[in-house]
Amino acid sequence: MAKRVLITGATDGIGKITAQNLAKMGQEVIVHGRNAEKAKAVVSEIKEATGNQNVDYLIADLMDLSALDGLVSNSTRNTITWTRSLTTQEPFSAIQS
């Protein structure tokens, strides 16, 4: 069963790589970023590279707590599993909830 995973800072670097790898695994991936155009481009890139159409994005500046409240309040998704980009070599299953 696919998990729904929100990857913060997923528009570049390790966050982007993590989002793409999770999409390859068949997970439903939500890309977080601060720039809508960049996030849209990353979502398109991941969908094309993986064939997984269950990739979307959310925009918020997580340094602004009111933006975080808005992100959660305005989300139409039932469940969001919060995680941060993997910086260790532990398998994804070690952080699934």
Q: Which residues does residue 57 pair with via DSSP β-bridges, in sequence order?
A: 31
* Environment class of 23 (CB within 10 Å of its CB; exposed 0-12, middle 13-18, buried 19+): buried
Residue 91 pLDDT more than 50? no
pLDDT digits (tens, 9 = 90+) for 20-50: 999 999 999 999 888 989 999 999 999 999 9
Do 49 and 55 touch, CB atoms closer than 8 A? no
pLDDT digits (tens, 9 = 90+) for 45-68: 999 999 999 999 888 877 776 666
SS (H, E, C) 32-44: EECCHHHHHHHHH
In the chain, what are the domains? 4-86 (3.40.50.720)
Q: To 5 degrees, how large is the angle CA 46–CA 69–CA 37? A: 30
